[in-house]
Amino acid sequence: MKLPDRLFRLSRLTATLGLAAALSACASMPHKTAPVISTVPNPAVTTANPPEAPSAHQADTLLAEGHDLEAAKAYIQAAAAVQGQAQLHYLLKAAQASLQGNKSQVAVLLADEVLRLQQGDNTLRGEALWVRAQGLMDQGQTPRAKGNLEELLTIASTPQNVRAKAMGTLATLYTQEGHELTALNFLIERDSLLSGPAISKNHQRIHALLDSVSSARIQNWQGRSGNPLVQEWLAIALISRHNPDPEQRKAAINAWMAAHPGHPPINFSSHDELNVADTSQQPGGEICALLPSTGPYAELSQAISAGMETAAQLQAGPAVKLLQSTGNPSFTAVLFERGVREGCKIFVGPWLPQDINAVAGVRKPSEPPVIALGTDAGVQQPGLYVFSLSRDVAARQIADQGYGAGYRQVYVLYPQDSSGAAIQADFIQTWKKLGGNVAGVATYLPGHSLNGQAQQLLSGTSASHAFVFLVANADNAEAAVTAIRAINSSIPIFSPALLHGAALPADATDLSGIASVDMPWIVQPATTRPRAAALLHSTLPNASATQWRMAAFGLDAYALAESILAKKLRQPIEGATGTLHFGKAGRIVRDMDWMKIENGAIVPLSGIPKTGS
């Protein structure tokens, strides 16, 4: 194919030079070198080897070094220096580089030029459509982008990986528009283009889409789709909803497959619920841990169960049986009922609010007691205990003991995040109920200077019976203490569970004077359950700071379970997380240890610092 020699003359030459000038202005600005991660297919391979323009090699080097916009400028210059197919080749590379340099408008203009000038080269057209679609999406022009992607799928030479990406993108766009069935078709069709972990991720997207719609809509889709693979996914989705127990579900799926031999077999094992460990054949135990096994809770549940198993080993008590839930409340309820049938005498867990509600909904008064590990969303029933793992316990303890020690006025400083907001809300609610006065409240952004917030908070004269309630961890407490001390050098600073790990940072001298409540496991690790700590270090050799805390909750949960089974509810338990008491309505009260920071070291305290001390 020979393109006309007038390719970049007259108006088109002017447009190209204009683009080059715009990119030159951008490229002259400093850019951070970054590795190139291209989302576009490789450049078209042509049968002829066109002569390389002098600036093309420079453009390749710039692109490899991460200077995307400078590379785009050089590719445009290379395109202006040659003719024919090579010009389109360099224009397309300039479009790709512009896209990587976040100049989507320029990328679209260059891709438009390639599409206008190419004559019957479907490979080149497909590559230009892919760049153009991405540029349009970056500009929010999704309807136009969708048309480009759908045309791209009609081109036989479109590489398999690009075809899969286009289908995934179309599925996202159609889902956003409320056309979930069309999106489902794209996701299921792209399955055959994927391999390895990508298939599992695609299955997760399919399950998530199906989980987001009602059973009635799925039944409606069964009558609208003629694709046997789609029909099979729809049937399995309905079977899963009607059979939350994995054993029953597996039997129902096998029965459906036997009744529909014409449907091609597909792999459904990527769904979390089908990956749950079968606990029915595990050795029995009187104490059953009903804990989430997926998502961010998996490693934390592992630490809790390790703590429980360590306690069982040290005390030669009942064995621990692990029942792994998935975050599906229906399945959690099924696991509870199965545990009752298999001889569980008491349950530690559930943890998540929806799972607690689900278990409370099926549990009979005569069935084994349950120690829930999180907020119970207002559920109360005989035999249901609540052992909170949250820092709200520390917040309420500071309020109770602060008021009891004679403090009457408080200044609250907390971070602008959901956790900080929840902790300060628990504190203020308890403090006001006791009759305490809130003199001021201020928020801060972690990692930023707190001078302005501290000045605003402590602008007036504080009373002798006032303190600062500071929500912080060891990473940002230093800045907070420094800012507070610059304004008021003597006001007490109390913090709930200052440490997220088991130790202070290497240099904690600027934290001197701050007092905190935390679990004995953290405040006095050498004397709090040393044998358990030694065993857990071997069981969890690479435990994170959070896992190490959760292991302490596992030790105490086991002790609570034994006390409940022995009906010893009046005796306090000196636990790893604090002194535990059985309170009203099944609440387990946890009193933690006080500590202060002196010269960068933890100093245990017998109680809250007194006013004026």
CA angle 128, 130, 135 (to 5 degrees): 95
Provide φ and ψ at 196, rounded to 5°: 60, -145
pLDDT for position 502: 58
Of 123, 158, 193, the residue at which a domain comes to its end is 158
Residue 263 domain-assigned (yes or no): no
* Count: domains in the chain: 2
d(CA 153, CA 68): 28
What CATH number corresponds to the domain at position 413? 3.40.50.2300
pLDDT for position 275: 36
d(CA 358, CA 370): 12
pLDDT beneath 50: ranges in the chain: 1-11, 13-14, 17, 20-21, 24-50, 270-284
**Torsion angle, CA of 577/578/584/585, rounded to 10 degrees?**
0
Of 496, 519, 553, the residue at which a domain comes to its end is 496
Residue 432 domain-assigned (yes or no): yes
Residue 36 domain-assigned (yes or no): yes
pLDDT for position 316: 83
Q: Which domain holds residue 404?
A: 392-496
DSSP conformation class of 352: S
pLDDT for position 30: 39
Q: Tokens 């009260």 map to which residue? A: 589
pLDDT for position 376: 53
Please provide the distance, in angstroms rounded to a whole number, between the alpha carbons at the two ends of the chain.
90
Contact present, 574 and 527 (Cβ < 8 Å) = no
Residue 602 domain-assigned (yes or no): no
pLDDT for position 342: 87
What CATH number corresponds to the domain at position 21? 1.25.40
| pTM, entire model | 0.56
> In 342-457, at which residue ranges do the beta strands (DSSP E only) sit?
346-348, 370-372, 384-386, 409-415, 437-444
DSSP conformation class of 368: P
Contact present, 360 and 380 (Cβ < 8 Å) = no
Of 476, 496, 516, the residue at which a domain comes to its end is 496
What H or E segment, with its residue span, contains residue 173? Answer: helix 160-176
Residue 1 domain-assigned (yes or no): no
Residue 39 domain-assigned (yes or no): yes
Residue 191 domain-assigned (yes or no): no
pLDDT for position 40: 39
> Cα 430 from chain centroid?
31
